[in-house]
A and B are shown apart, each in its own frame.
Chain A
Amino acid sequence: MNKTEFYAKLSTPANDPASLALAAIQGDGEAGTYLRGVYDQFLAFSVEVTAFSRFDLEGTGQGEAYFATVIQVVGYEILEQLLDTFTSIINQTGGESTLVRNDLLRRRLFGNERLGPIARNIVKLWFTGNWYQLPRNWSEKFGPAPKDVTFTVSANAYVEGLLWTTIGAHPAGAKAQGYGSWANPPRIPEFGSDAVVR
């Protein structure tokens, strides 16, 4: 199967695109090479919008699951558009400050009627492990997306939510910090004001 055929399959929800995407990422073929590149873009975007390093994000073990979740719910094509937009912003603002980059991200991505809600959902996925149902007006205009309901990606996704790390706590019910640890102030991890891209 060449790249174009594979791409067509991915964009058809009936084909379980999420499994196809995951299989392709792990495979050796032309499609796998191509998709791994897309997944790299997905991680680069995630680093930018979460302010966690690629090391931290990969450490959650959830990257591929979130990548697959987005493809599963809204299809591959829109994700690719989102990531291409992101890459072009990065290329355009290479060497410029975060402020400039953030302005462009807002105008062209988060403020984009079609892409904005998906971008926000990717942020929420990383922080909570939940896919949140898209706004109704999005579904009316760009839907339908039958799998678009609020759900937790998996038990591990919940446990790996970045929210908890962000506040120096732990997900309720997991990764407990130990007897009596609560008597001390939380250790809130430091982060740079400029997220490192790539």
Chain B
Amino acid sequence: MLRLEKRPDPSKTWGYLAPVLAVIATMIGGGVMFALLGKDPFEAIRTIFYDPLFSEFAWYYRPQLLIKGAPLILIAIGLSMGFRAGIWNIGAEGQYIIGAICGAGAALAVYPLESALVFPVMILCGAIGGFAWSMIPAILKIKFGTNEILVSLMLVYVAEQLLASMSLGLMKNPEGFGFPGSRNLQQYASAHNAELWTGTGIHLGVVFALIAVIFSYIMLARHQMGFHIRLTGESPKAAKFAGVNPNKVVIYCLGFSGALAGLAGMFEVAGPSGQISIDFNVGYGFTAIIVAFLGRLDPFGILLAGLLMALTYIGGEIAQSSLGLPSAAIQAFQGMLLFFLLALDMLTNFKIKRTNTEVRI
């Protein structure tokens, strides 16, 4: 019989190995799933993981990697702080939407004013919007002890309705011939989150994502707040004795992730997406949860995980057009990845031992 024995300290080796093995296991599991759908599994996996990087059209896909990766990384960095402290913000999708609405709203309010100040103000509004939206679950948790998981999630649906209302009403393009959706910010020079270098896919959001990675690394490794967050997650009792203010940690974790998600939404609406529309959000806020775990809640791990997840998005789109793979398949594929990761994570914390070698069957 096999028996699990808790390791005194989590294994470092398995910490690195588990995500890699999870990706491999997902490729196998996903291959089986694609085969069941009647597609060639090897071709599907190659299309998803290889083609975006090395096929003949890779010059088009590689910049996409950064465009899709940036919001995922931004949001996941924020979420990872809370997850470390045991504070579960799963409403990043809502904060992302509100950030986009606030950012675009600031631009649309001053349209057609051309000024260098417009974009900084939009950035500020996007971050504040996301922050404010995340303060709802934060304050309710502090004041009344309300479960932040359920509240933040409910607010996603509220934000989606608000988005619909905005794109059909208040923010609708007056020159849009009655179509839903706001003015296209890509055509508004001061508000356009353009590529910094053409053809690279690097827009200001990518830069912000990198800054967020470095910032959160320093925060966790060097700053007292980072220490408090880790302590709260690992032992709430010890944190209490050490004088950590749990309310402060809640505000910080939710606020930080909300602001980053808001920023991600704002950069998306001002750049790659261009306008507020009913289907503006595509689930980055939920996928970022997978990114955060796949990156082991570690800033640099999240950077890699975000790029990998962006790869599956792009590869999924290619497979959709070239192989006719349903778009939802990639969502199931990403969910599967999280399953494998969580299962393999056991090996980081436990050793597998044989209980009794003599009566082995």
Task: Please determine whether chains A and B interact with each other in the same assembly.
Answer: no
List chain A positions with a Cβ less than 8 A from chain B.
Answer: none
